[in-house]
Structure 1
């Protein structure tokens, strides 16, 4: 009795079925005369290279389409294929006008597949695979950069918290609050696989998330009010704003408007070509006075972060009715 496999197997080698399989796999065919350098390709290979069909081509003709950075490498690889034992594969870029494609050329070396001085192989369009690989590498590099930045920031916050507190319990609480603020901010701008633009968050969302823990009713409906235009904040600026907002909110909770039930906080923003101005206005709290001396480590961290990283300026108005803080940043720095 003949099995189904034995019946179907001969059909695999019928020319029309081989053509169907090749086309389904996106495989294009080529042959290369090692003496004359002449190339023959199927119609799909001509289309892949952006060359009119039925055109007489040589390897030199194809070289004109190979990306300049890959051209010498590909030429050397093709010349070396006859010395390679077994199958070989080489990936390279080609340019078709302004379009870049990745091609994988595959064949069999050691003259094993040569017939009458002609070698045979295939071209496959691997652009999608290469773009995915580049995306993964970019994401891995971005995550590594983020981790390094966060570790540096965490180290600095630990040093500051140790100076501001007198016990290990107080230090743990203070450091936890600062790191939690950073974590909430970075949740808004973490990279998404496949995204084409740099990670960013909306300023209103960022401020609301950072201030929500200081208001039982939430930043939009309670005594903390956020009113800002729609604008994006980049990854780097997000870290700095998280530190600034946490520092201001913590001080307000200890000494300012948020330390009493009737105190209110308004955060507003205006955007013009030369600067984005964020205004922090406290009211209804206890009478405030400017700090004596040069300020604490937290205040120094805020000032260094704003003037250094954001290339901006921060101003404090210690009005009797409540503290008013004005932060000015260039739009380009806010989006970075």
Structure 2
């Protein structure tokens, strides 16, 4: 005969079952003596903080592991917990060598549940949640930036199309072609969900698709000239390179060589054992100067993407007759 809920309920409060539930939830336990500042923690909490088990610790000992940017905030918040009415939750980062973790400390304020001057609470590793939140924020910022750029590009493509056509029908046809090409380039930056084709492209083909919307006379037959060796680019590297080209072409259309009829763009590439070097050279456009303001979101995103995934670098040379951008990439990462 199956046990009833009333019969099962006492099992919930058996110490061994409470321990099982705590471990299943990923919860670790702490207690804090408000007079002596001494902390007691279970084995899971010691492991979470990277401290040898059964070590005598105080809050200041834990503070040494807290990320410097969070340390003062956490110390002030922890000291204020006794005056907080109701439950509290403090999220902060800790450093274990080179590893960064996010921890959530939770408890009851206003001395609720205090026993013999000892308060109780829990630590939870929330690193996964925080990374997911940061990823969503990055994606939202990237998409906002890209939408603004796409609107600017559409305006710029309309302008250069109007200069190269004489009738409204011709303009409509060419503008549609350019916007369609822009859509194909955008798909490279963000592949279609569920895509199963092994993503690998030749560098020359990749540049053809990305730059087609900006070339007045068709891919590389006009003022955009490309000279690259035959080499494959892997799926994730394709995304990063697409971001780079998309950002540089957008800025060129706004301020550089592609913003005027006389401007030209040359892209060359050399491959050596230590690095693949791509050089983006603009000439014939407006006189350029190095920006005096802090780099925008797009430039920061590029630098971080190139340094992170491609293990490379991107450098800008603001020559008066045109911008020169040098991109260096680890060849072993290019095929990834």
Task: State TM-score, norm by structure 1.
Answer: 0.65
Measure the CA separation in 2 of the matches of 1:10 and 1:204: 70
Contact 2:210 2:242 in 1 (8 A): no
Q: Structure 2 CA distance, aligned partners of 1:20 and 1:147?
A: 49
State how far apart, in whole Å, the 2-side matches of 1:242 and 1:73 are.
41
- CA apart distance, 1:123: 0.2
**Distance apart, 1:204 and its partner CA:** 4.0
Unaligned 5+ segments in structure 2 are 194-199, 213-227, 253-266, 290-298, 300-314, 318-323
* Residue aligning to 2:63: 63
Contact 2:88 2:109 in 1 (8 A): yes
Contact 1:188 / 1:201 at 8 angstroms: preserved in 2?
Answer: no
1:49-88 to 2 correspondence within 5 Å?
Answer: 49-88=49-88
Choose which of 237, 244, 249 in structure 2 pairs with 1:236: 244
**Separation of aligned partners in 2, 1:38 and 1:153:** 61
Change (3 A) 1:240 1:97: closer
Query: How far apart, CA to CA, are the structure 1 residues paired with 2:72 and 2:229?
Result: 59
The 1:61/1:160 distance shift into structure 2, 3 A limit, reads same
Alpha carbons of structure 1 residues 111 and 189: separation in structure 2 relative to 1, 3 Å: same
Q: Which runs of 5+ in 1 are unaligned?
A: 194-199, 213-225, 245-267, 279-300, 313-327
CA contact (8 A) 1:89 1:106 kept: yes
How many equivalent residue pairs? 255
Q: 1:18 to 1:54 in 2, by over 3 A?
A: same
- What is the distance in 2 between the residues matched to 1:35 and 1:190? 56
* CA-based RMSD: 3.9
Question: Is the 1:92–1:102 Cα contact (8 Å) retained in structure 2?
Answer: yes
Q: Is the 8 Å Cα contact of residues 201 and 234 (structure 1) preserved in structure 2?
A: no
Judged with a 3 Å threshold, the aligned counterparts in structure 2 of structure 1 residues 94 and 176 are, in CA distance, closer, same or farther, namely: same
Larger radius of gyration: 1
Cα distance, 1:54–1:277 mapped onto 2, change above 3 Å? closer
Residue 303 and residue 182 in structure 1: after superposition, are their counterparts in 2 closer, same or farther (change >3 A)?
A: farther
Q: Superposition pairs for residues 34-49 of structure 1, below 5 Å?
A: 34-49=34-49
Closer, same or farther: CA 35–201 of 1 in aligned 2, 3 Å: farther
- 1:218 corresponds to: none
